[in-house]
């Protein structure tokens, strides 16, 4: 099994984005190749409640298992972008704009994201909330130190927990609400089990908190 990484940003090429963030250099040091997120194939998802057809990047289709690495950020349309919405990066870049045009209503767009997430079905979600974003996200917000990593096999439970961390009702996040409505595992706080691990401060992470979310 070969470990690879990738994402399809809305602007710039996957390689250019990886170079700009420093991931390309680090991946080269670890001999981890960049997967193909430029080209894709049409796939059909009969279980989709709203969207039953997607054009998905080859890098996703070639993978045996997927670990999704969302960033905790505010979002102008969906209020918060997290574990469920992260799979939008599996759609090759230029097609993202088309989907926004076809699905201008936030609930329709969120149902598409829920269907896409259920198709891709990552094995694990690791949310980077060491430095989150607040304000006019997802591109023009302000960095906000949250000093946490959230880890779960359940994207809805993870996103709901992230919302509570910023004093937001999870039901205000359309992907979380719709994910709960279609039965995407855990959602309510009382049904989730939280565990917390603390680490000493370092130059790379000035925080003392790394949290993990486990599902029952």
38 domain residue, yes or no = no
Q: pTM of the full predicted structure?
A: 0.84
19 domain residue, yes or no = no
Round to whole Å and give the CA distance between 136 and 73. 9
196 domain residue, yes or no = yes
Q: What is the arithmetic mean of pLDDT over 134-140? A: 74
Which pLDDT tens digit goes with each residue over 58-109? 999 999 999 999 999 887 776 788 999 999 999 998 888 889 899 999 999 9
72 domain residue, yes or no = yes
Q: Comparing C-alpha atoms, which of 56, 149, 69 is closest to residue 99?
A: 56
Q: 59: Cβ–Cβ under 8 A, 6 or more apart, which residues?
A: 4, 6, 35, 36, 37
For residue 198, pLDDT beyond 90: no
* Domains identified in the chain, total number: 1
166 domain residue, yes or no = yes
Q: 156: Cβ–Cβ under 8 A, 6 or more apart, which residues?
A: 83, 84, 176, 179, 180, 184, 185, 186, 187
154 domain residue, yes or no = yes
Which range of residues forms the domain containing residue 202? 62-215
Round to whole Å and give the CA distance between 115 and 54. 10
Which pLDDT tens digit goes with each residue over 3-55? 999 999 887 899 999 999 899 999 999 999 999 999 999 999 999 999 999 99
Q: Can you give the pLDDT at residue 185? A: 53
| 15 close to 34: Cβ distance less than 8 angstroms | yes
Q: Can you give the pLDDT at residue 89? A: 94
57 domain residue, yes or no = no
47 domain residue, yes or no = no
């Amino acid at each position: 099994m070969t470990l690879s990484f990738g994402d399809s940003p809305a602007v710039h090429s996957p390689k250019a984005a990886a170079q700009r963030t420093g991931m390309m250099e680090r991946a080269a040091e670890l001999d981890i190749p960049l997967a193909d997120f430029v080209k894709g194939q049409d796939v059909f998802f009969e279980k989709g409640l709203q969207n039953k057809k997607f054009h998905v990047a080859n890098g996703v289709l070639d993978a045996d298992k997927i670990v999704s690495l969302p960033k905790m950020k505010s979002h102008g349309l969906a209020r918060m972008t997290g574990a469920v919405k992260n799979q939008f990066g599996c759609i090759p870049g230029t097609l993202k704009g088309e989907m926004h045009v076809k699905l201008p209503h936030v609930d329709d767009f969120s149902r598409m994201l829920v269907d896409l997430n259920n198709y891709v079905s990552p094995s694990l979600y690791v949310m980077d909330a060491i430095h989150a974003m607040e304000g006019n996200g997802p591109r023009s917000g302000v960095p906000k130190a949250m000093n946490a990593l959230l880890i779960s096999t359940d994207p809805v439970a993870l996103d709901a927990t992230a919302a509570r961390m910023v004093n937001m009702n999870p039901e205000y996040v359309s992907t979380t609400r719709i994910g709960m409505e279609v039965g995407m595992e855990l959602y309510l706080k009382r049904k989730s089990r939280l565990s917390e691990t603390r680490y000493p401060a370092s130059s790379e992470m000035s925080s003392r908190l790394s949290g993990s979310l486990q599902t029952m």
